[in-house]
Amino acid sequence: MRQSPSGGAGHGAAATDSGLKSIGTVLNVLRDEFPEVTVSKIRFLESEGLVEPRRTPSGYRKFSTGDVERLALVLRMQRDHYLPLKVIREYLDAMERGEAVHLPAVGRQREGAAVPASAEAPVARIERAELLVAVGIEEGELQEWESYGLLTPLADGAYGAEAVTVASLVSELGRFGIEPRHLRVMKAAADREAGLVEQVVAPLKRHRNPQTRAHAEARAKELAELTVRLHTVLVQTALGVRLP
């Protein structure tokens, strides 16, 4: 049985009901740091064995403080380090055994964090060996994904931080029998969408005014978000499903 941070039996065999939280309360707590988290997301993490809330006789979930902290840690590893759930589970197990854990040195700058005005934001990156460990794949798999254009290293052989997300998704799709060669159509579609966005913002990027060029970057990001949302809805509609 998983141990809580205080060392007691995991998920509240000895906990009092007054110290446990409903899934709705947990959602409100987590949304302070993770605005996009949903009840469905929490239930999914539970189904993956990353958290084990207590159940009332009527079947309602009840979360301890340790459960909430664990959920926050999982969400933080996903957001800041782009780690797949399989790797997150291994890190959590190592932590419970009291082992030192060193996360990959990648991540996104938190919103609101202070950045010196004279400093240029560093590009998040990950070395090839770190990518293999973070995603839990072999060198041969990575080479195959590169051959299909799903991942492209930088000039020095390292990767941008988004490579962890891409590799994790390719790995997860592989569990369902979707091979890298099948994903070429997705890569081609993404390239076409990116080309469309580039056409729209190209005149702004060529402008002499730095503010106009900065506006081009903001516009490109906005258009990218819109195309991703449209693509998601179109796929849902074609499949007749609704994602959470």
**pLDDT, one tens digit for every residue, the chain (244 residues):** 454 444 444 444 444 455 899 999 999 999 989 888 888 889 888 988 899 999 998 889 999 999 999 999 999 888 887 777 888 888 898 888 888 777 765 544 444 443 333 333 344 678 888 888 878 889 999 999 999 999 999 888 888 878 888 888 898 888 889 999 999 898 898 889 889 988 888 888 887 787 887 788 888 888 888 888 888 888 888 988 776 5
pLDDT given for residue 29 in this prediction: 94
Q: Radius of gyration of the chain from Cα atoms?
A: 21
CA atoms within 13 A on the CB side of 162: 6
Domains of the chain, by residue range, sit at: 17-96, 123-178, 179-244
Which one, of 121, 146, 122, 118, lies nearest residue 132 by Cα?
146
CA dist., res. 157 & res. 116, Å (int): 29
What is the pLDDT at residue 71?
95
Query: Which residues lie below 8 Å from residue 64, measured CB to CB, with a gap of 6+?
Result: 4, 11, 12, 15, 19, 20, 21, 53, 54
- Phi, psi for residue 49 in degrees, rounded to 5: 80, 15
Enter the CATH code of domain 17-96.
1.10.1660.10
pTM of full prediction above 0.75: no
